[in-house]
Structure 1
Amino acid sequence: MKKMTLFILALSLSAIASAQITVTGIVINDSIPLELASVMIKNSTNGIATSNKGEFKLEAKKGDTLSVSFVGYKTKELVLNKTEDFTFKLDEENSFDEVVVVSCHNATITCYKGACGWYREDVSLLDNKSGKKNKLYPNPSSNGIFQLMLVNNYNKVSISIADMSGRSVQNTTQQKFGKKGTIDLSAYPTGIYIVNIIADGKRLEPIKAIKS
């Protein structure tokens, strides 16, 4: 009886193990690897961002739907049936509505609304005169806590954070910000987020935050 129980247990564990698969692959646009593309198991918090070579490795189960997305590109989905090395070629999102705003802080701003949210073309309002960049660290962050380091000091900083679908998940405003602050995404799922910053009325360059 004991041997039979152990045999049944072994079969059960084997069945569970066989349902688990390791998915690897690369995300590209034509032949160019897409770094920081979002690779997610649909309807879960299981996901990862691609490396600087566009590569990813993810544990999944047979029957899971893999969703691959990147800002400005059409999302692709695939039902997983076996362990395989996949190549995802993403197509650029062409369905944009263009809006032009003239004479805003002496600059012309062009905004586009696509499947993943709003994007803008605007060089004159970006904080890049010094050649330095505003940044988050650590990035990726395993616990979702980021330190935001800005190039300049600011009195008032408003931060709006959106997920990869363009949905706003967090909005905060801090007075007497200085150069350094904290962004807390610990309560949100693993994935890539876009951090939009307005500092003393000036829109800074968006930053990608990766919760791994």
Structure 2
Amino acid sequence: MKKMTLFSIAVCFTLITTAQISVSGIVSNDSIPLESANVIIKNSLNGVATNSKGEFKLEAKKGDTLSVSYLGYKPQEFVINKTEQIEIKLKEDALNEVVVVAYSGHRCWTTGCGVSISYNTYWDTNVEKNKLYPNPSSNGIFQLKLVENYDEVKISVANMSGQIIWNSSSQKLGKKITIDLSQFSTGIYIINIIADGKRLEPIKAVKG
């Protein structure tokens, strides 16, 4: 009888610790809501994009880590320990150093400063990024070109309401991946990528 009681307590404890809770909140830059910010449970495909008011809502477990990111802002992570609404304020990230090269051969190193050159110039960030093309796509079929080869790539696609509409998991597929959103309506979608357990920078896809 005592063993059964201990077993029952253990089962109840396990159910409590693994129970799903509803987590909601607002992502903003001080007072400005950030639309399409990525709110994802770290190391999973469970995530949403914020709506036009910066709001999000998803299911998680206590102890999960919430990862929040938005292009141009420093990402933040939070350990979930409550169900009440979370207010998340992201801070702008410093601009990456770039090189301005004029055809005359003059070079100027700058970090976000204003540079005025009267002749033709080009900008080179010297950082190769993952690319999605064609983007926009008229038929909703995109090609994702990754900078590196990965053993396993997991992709989830969220619509502007934050709903995950498409999932894919592939192994040993090289650097190119097809994402087929042809069955969905025109609009903006957020591509979330986990490669070999590492979350890559999300990409905004436009079907139109």
- The list of structure 1 runs, each at least 4 consecutive aligned residues, that deviate by more than 4 angstroms after superposition, is 111-114, 168-172, 184-192
Once the two structures are superposed, what CA deviation does each residue of 1:145-174 show, in whole Å capped at 9, x if it has no partner?
A: x335xxxxxxxxx86468xxxxx99855xx
- SS of 1:24's equivalent? strand
Inter-CA distance 136–26: structure 2 relative to 1 (3 Å threshold): farther
Which residue number corresponds to residue 42 of structure 1?
Answer: 42
Which residue number corresponds to residue 141 of structure 2?
Answer: 147
Q: Please tell me whether the aligned partners of residues 22 and 83 of structure 2 are also in contact (alpha carbons under 8 angstroms).
A: yes
Query: How far is the alpha carbon of 1:136 from its aligned partner?
Result: 4.2
Kindly report which structure 2 residues correspond to 1:190-205, keeping only aligned pairs within 5 A, or say none. Answer: 193-194=202-203
Measured in 1, the distance between the counterparts of 2:96 and 2:77 equals 21
Which residue number corresponds to residue 155 of structure 1?
Answer: none
Q: Please tell me whether the aligned partners of residues 40 and 67 of structure 2 are also in contact (alpha carbons under 8 angstroms).
A: yes
Aligned counterpart for 2:205 among listed residues 200, 204, 209:
209
Kindly report which structure 2 residues correspond to 1:9-88, keeping only aligned pairs within 5 A, or say none. Answer: 12=12, 15-16=15-16, 19-88=19-88
Query: How far is the alpha carbon of 1:113 from its aligned partner?
Result: 7.4
- The unaligned stretches of length 5 or more in structure 1 are 119-133, 139-145, 149-157, 163-167, 173-181, 195-207
Once the two structures are superposed, what CA deviation does each residue of 1:42-65 show, in whole Å capped at 9, x if it has no partner?
A: 111111111121111010000001
Measured in 2, the distance between the counterparts of 1:55 and 1:187 equals 18
Inter-CA distance 135–161: structure 2 relative to 1 (3 Å threshold): farther
Which residue number corresponds to residue 135 of structure 1?
Answer: 136
Root-mean-square deviation over aligned CA pairs: 4.4
Measured in 2, the distance between the counterparts of 1:52 and 1:191 equals 23
- The unaligned stretches of length 5 or more in structure 2 are 104-118, 130-134, 148-152, 155-173, 182-190
Query: How far is the alpha carbon of 1:74 from its aligned partner?
Result: 0.3
Letter in 1 for 2:136: K
Which residue number corresponds to residue 96 of structure 1?
Answer: 96
Aligned length: 145
Measured in 2, the distance between the counterparts of 1:102 and 1:55 equals 44
- SS of 2:45's equivalent? coil
- SS of 1:82's equivalent? coil
Which residue number corresponds to residue 127 of structure 1?
Answer: none
Inter-CA distance 137–30: structure 2 relative to 1 (3 Å threshold): farther
Inter-CA distance 109–147: structure 2 relative to 1 (3 Å threshold): same
Measured in 2, the distance between the counterparts of 1:41 and 1:187 equals 12
Query: How far is the alpha carbon of 1:69 from its aligned partner?
Result: 0.4
Q: Quote the sequence identity (%).
A: 48
Kindly report which structure 2 residues correspond to 1:109-124, keeping only aligned pairs within 5 A, or say none. Answer: 109-112=122-125
Measured in 1, the distance between the counterparts of 2:101 and 2:144 equals 22
Which residue number corresponds to residue 165 of structure 1?
Answer: none
Measured in 1, the distance between the counterparts of 2:15 and 2:138 equals 41
Q: Please tell me whether the aligned partners of residues 74 and 91 of structure 1 are also in contact (alpha carbons under 8 angstroms).
A: yes
Letter in 1 for 2:32: I
TM-score (norm 1): 0.51
- SS of 1:56's equivalent? strand
Aligned counterpart for 2:121 among listed residues 108, 114, 126:
108
Inter-CA distance 100–183: structure 2 relative to 1 (3 Å threshold): farther
Measured in 2, the distance between the counterparts of 1:62 and 1:17 equals 7
Query: How far is the alpha carbon of 1:91 from its aligned partner?
Result: 0.6
Measured in 2, the distance between the counterparts of 1:27 and 1:43 equals 20
